Amino acid sequence: MATSAVSDCKHDPGVFVPVIDRSRCEGKEDCVQVCPYSVFEMRQLSDRDKRAMPLGARLKAWVHGNRQAFAVGAQNCHACGLCVSACPERAIKLSRPSWNV
């Protein structure tokens, strides 16, 4: 799984980064499991995170334990797309980072 994905990567690290939709993530950890570069970690939403979310998203997060994925190693992303395919909530998109536009 990871070996083939790694060899298929077409981009150097940092060209694209995963962006997680806080209104969709349910903390199911599929991204953590599939990423060959350990880009993601799961953690509790901080008060600041929650304040930045719309009410509906905060309620949904609360139902799911206020635990979501964070792309803490986004600079290591090679844009293989495994996390995008694996997320059951379609919460992840790849985007050009602000430092690369």
Judged by the rule CB under 6 A, the positions of this chain that interact with ligand SF4 are 18, 34-35, 37, 39, 77-83, 94
Q: How far is the CB of 61 from ligand SF4 (least distance, A)?
A: 21
Burial of 55 (0-12, 13-18, 19+ CB in 10 A): exposed
Q: Of 35 and 61, which has the nearer Cβ to ligand SF4?
A: 35
Q: How far is the CB of 79 from ligand SF4 (least distance, A)?
A: 5
Nearest 5°: phi and psi at 69?
Answer: -85, 145
Q: How far is the CB of 13 from ligand SF4 (least distance, A)?
A: 8
Sign of CA dihedral 18, 84, 59, 62: negative
